[in-house]
Amino acid sequence: MSFAPRGFTLMEMLVVLVIAGLLAGLLFSSLQSLGFGESRLADRSARQAREIMVRQWWLDATRSLAADRTVEFGGGRESFRGLATQALNSGTGHQEMQWRIVGGTRSQLQLETGGAEALVLDVGAEELRFAYLDEEQRLQPKWPPAQGLHKPLPVAVVLISDAPSPRTLAIARIEGPREPVVELFSRETE
């Protein structure tokens, strides 16, 4: 009587377990690198979304500048102030606002509105500066320029990054009237 062997030998089982262990190790390391890549991608996407939001907010607020006799627009390389017709916080109506470039390892935009706490926004660029576009399409380092007759507001405010080489980040074209509106008649109130 001869017995036919049934099942696997101990050596065959050990070989299968070693191969299964190697495959499981490869699978876990690839899943771990996939997780790291996914988190880096999520961080980069969030940073880009934040930069786009900050840039759009700056554009919207700057486009809404209005010429006014009580709040004169003025600006230099590191800041500008004026009257915005678009409410930037929970208030309504016109607001005086001031944008500043604050330093640090990366330049940031700081917004101050009438009495409200300053808000600091990261643009995602270094060495920022403002410039002002006049009617002849020339960039001016300050507004109003030193010479010549100019309207109270520039045609556009330009946000420029000088690192590593000069590049324009955003151009906010002033959409409202660039000279103060003159009211010939005032409304009577009782």
Query: Is the model's pTM score more than 0.95?
Result: no
Rounded Cα distance, 156 and 131, in Å: 9
**Strand locations in the chain, DSSP E?**
65-66, 74-75, 79-84, 95-102, 108-113, 119-122, 128-133, 139-140, 156-161, 167-173
Residue 5, both tokens: 């062997």
Task: Determine, yes or no, domain membership for 187.
Answer: no
Task: Determine, yes or no, domain membership for 43.
Answer: no
How many domains is the chain built from?
Answer: 1
Task: Determine, yes or no, domain membership for 67.
Answer: yes
Reference 132, options 122, 144, 114; nearest CA is: 144
pLDDT in tens, 85-135: 875 554 556 788 888 998 766 788 888 887 666 777 777 778 889 999 988
- The dihedrals phi and psi of 139, each to the nearest 5 degrees, come to -80, 130
The secondary structure element, H or E, covering residue 142 is: none
Q: Please indicate whether residue 183 or residue 25 has the higher confidence score (pLDDT).
A: 25
**Domain carrying residue 122:** 54-173
